[in-house]
């Protein structure tokens, strides 16, 4: 029995092309390759679309899902760095000029705390996206992480040295140099924020850029990294690094990455590191968005900075 295929009709509708038609919310295990020898299976939510030319009534929605599942299964032994092969198979199967596919998932990392070296979980929201045309394919990777930011203005206003009287300053000048340095670096407090850092890169050499690479760039640009669990020595480290860019260890100050940073500072620092990858042609471009969820304002005020490469 031959069943009608209404999608293949060529008459009875306005002949207008559609740039993007497909299905969303496909749930499937997806083996993701991150690093030279690291592959894990994640539960991904896939959105899959094709273009539709003006002379055809519809796309076969069931076939999009079928093609996606079959391609994931076929390529699963390799692990996915990008979805480029899936996008190409989708475009060919539907005889479309263009195909788009994205997979969103939570990617687990294990992060050691800075002092006690406690293994703690870190879950990153990640999206892989690929766009396949007739002659080329573009691959994108988006990583989001939550870290700590501390307001430079707040710190500067609250520094002890800005609140000393002349007589107090004269007394401090009599102290040993190391003790004087500690006192003048201290303050009455500085407010911090939970900072959400999102980075999207267009990959030129997918085999050289991984999820973990992008996470490391973002985490290094915040005032201090954030952890799922902290022992007291770790909490001391995080607090002092966010405040001063280092911490006091057995009487000596150890400089680390971090310190007070606005959203603008974080965005520019990340861009500076990404420009090196772009110069080496490992990425073609990037977009950075930093959101600081303010701790001293009501109504959920969020400071936002967005920076896109040229």
Q: Is the pLDDT of residue 294 over 80?
A: yes
pLDDT per residue as tens digits for the range 59-101: 777 777 787 888 888 877 777 889 998 899 888 888 889 999 9
Residues 6+ apart with CB under 8 A from 222: 147, 148, 149, 195, 197, 258, 261, 266
C-alpha distances (whole Å) from 38 to each of 16, 33, 76, 119, 217 are 46, 6, 14, 18, 19
**pLDDT at site 36:** 62
**pLDDT given at position 185:** 83
pLDDT in tens, 94-153: 888 999 999 999 999 999 999 999 999 999 999 999 999 988 999 999 999 999 999 999
Query: What confidence tens digit (pLDDT) does each residue in 13-22 have?
Result: 788 988 888 8
d(Cα 291, Cα 269) in Å, to the nearest integer? 15
Q: Which of 20, 42, 195 is nearest to 128 (CA)?
A: 42
Amino acid 152: pLDDT: 94
The top-scoring range by mean pLDDT among 160-169, 175-184, 261-270 is: 261-270
The answer to whether residues 102 and 86 touch, using CB atoms and an 8 Å cutoff, is no
Highest mean pLDDT: which of 38-42, 172-176, 252-256, 266-270?
Answer: 266-270
Q: Say which residue, 228 or 22, is predicted with more confidence.
A: 228
Give the model's pLDDT for residue 1.
66
């Amino acid at each position: 029995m031959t069943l009608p295929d209404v999608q293949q009709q060529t008459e009875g509708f306005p002949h207008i092309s559609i740039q993007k038609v497909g299905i969303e919310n496909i749930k499937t295990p997806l083996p993701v390759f991150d690093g030279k020898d690291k592959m894990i299976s994640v539960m991904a939510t896939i959105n899959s679309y094709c273009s539709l030319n003006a002379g055809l009534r519809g796309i076969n929605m069931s076939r999009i899902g079928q093609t996606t599942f079959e391609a994931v299964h076929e390529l699963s032994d390799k692990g996915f760095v990008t979805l480029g092969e899936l996008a190409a198979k989708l475009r060919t199967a539907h005889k479309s000029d263009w195909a788009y596919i994205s997979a969103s998932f939570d990617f687990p990392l294990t992060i050691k705390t800075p002092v006690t070296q406690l293994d703690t979980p870190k879950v990153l929201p990640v999206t892989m996206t690929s766009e396949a045309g007739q002659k080329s394919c573009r691959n994108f990777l988006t990583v989001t992480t939550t870290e700590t930011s501390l307001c430079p203005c707040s710190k500067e206003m609250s520094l002890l040295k800005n609140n000393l009287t002349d007589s107090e300053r004269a007394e401090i000048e009599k102290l040993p140099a190391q003790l004087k340095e500690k006192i003048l670096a201290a303050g009455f407090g500085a407010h911090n924020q939970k900072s959400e850092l999102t980075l999207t890169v267009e990959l030129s050499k997918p085999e050289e850029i991984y999820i973990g690479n992008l996470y490391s760039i973002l985490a290094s640009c915040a005032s201090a990294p954030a952890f799922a669990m902290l022992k007291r020595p770790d909490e001391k480290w995080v607090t002092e690094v966010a405040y001063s860019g280092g911490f006091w260890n057995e009487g000596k100050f150890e400089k680390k990455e971090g310190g007070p940073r606005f959203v603008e500072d974080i965005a520019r620092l990340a861009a500076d590191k990404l420009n090196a990858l772009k110069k080496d042609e490992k990425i073609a471009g990037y977009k950075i968005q930093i959101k600081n969820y303010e701790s001293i304002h009501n109504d959920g005020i969020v400071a936002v900075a967005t920076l896109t490469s040229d």
